[in-house]
Amino acid sequence: MQNSDRSRGRGILYRVYERRLRSGLDEAATPKHVAMIIDGNRRWAKQLGYDTAAHGHRAGAAKVREFLEWCDDLGIQVVTLYLLSSDNLVNRASDELTDLIEIIAELAEELSHYRDWRVQHVGSDQGLPEPLVAALDAAEHRTADKRGLHVNLAVGYGGRTEITDAMRAIVAAHHAEGRSLEDLAERLTPELIGEHLYTGGQPDPDLVIRTSGEQRLSDFMLWQAAHSEFYFVEALGPDLRRVDFLRAIRDYAKRHRRFGG
């Protein structure tokens, strides 16, 4: 009984703290684009004694849905979620990868029916199984005309590969136009490269959040995050709370962005 009362009291305090954090945020200082690396799913499953990492990945997927709701309710316009890297395709055990691919396909399907969200796959199809590619394509097609929160699913994604693909696309288009190498050198600008990234036409992320206490980018949005702010959370992905998210937004709002200056 005492434990129940203590948990109830703690829940009330958290809700009060959440409301205080939320009311103290300046809407004008809220990031427009948030990128998220939800890390620690496997450790979460191991700590709880589960026999496979799939339990952690499913819990992480459930947290993704919560996180997107938090972002949408706060007026954030674009969220990019790092779900599966191109490195994961070759470094993860086959059983775990099979489970993760199924979970991501289910998540894409679910998000494409939720609110007025637009879902977009940002990444390469290379190395992805056909059912996952089909699920991502279907979600993107189904939500193409929606105007709510823009949700980027970074699947089969690698930052260096993205930049390489952008350069290849630029060179191929230039060659098709029959232009010279010298002309390409004149035309090549950061803006042109940005237009050919997987996220071409979107604003760069203002804030990049990573869970699990790790403080690295892991080949995520290397170009786009050049001037982003970073926030690292100790909680493992499935344990992320709304108060953790609101603290990140509050911290971002207090920073003076220099954009390389």
End-to-end C-alpha distance for the chain, whole angstroms: 57
| Catalytic, out of 3, 5, 26, 39 | 39
Catalytic residue among 3, 72, 88, 152: 88
Asked about 3 being catalytic, the answer comes back as: no
Of 106, 24, 92, 118, which Cα lies nearest the Cα of 61? 106
Task: Name the binding residues for substrate.
Answer: 40-44, 57, 85-87, 92, 210, 216-218
Structure tokens belonging to residue 194: 């940005």
Name residue, tokens 């056909």. 130
- Tell me what percent of the chain is helix, strand and coil, each rounded to the nearest 5: 55, 15, 35
Question: Does the annotation mark 39 as catalytic?
Answer: yes
Residue 114: CA count within 13 A, CB half-sphere: 16
User: Do 21 and 250 contact (CB within 8 A), yes or no?
Assistant: yes
Task: Tell me if 156 sits within 8 A of 123, measured CB to CB.
Answer: yes
Please list the alpha-helical segments (H only) found in 177-227: 181-187, 190-195
> Which positions make up the binding site for Mg(2+)?
39, 229
Residues annotated catalytic, as ranges: 39, 88
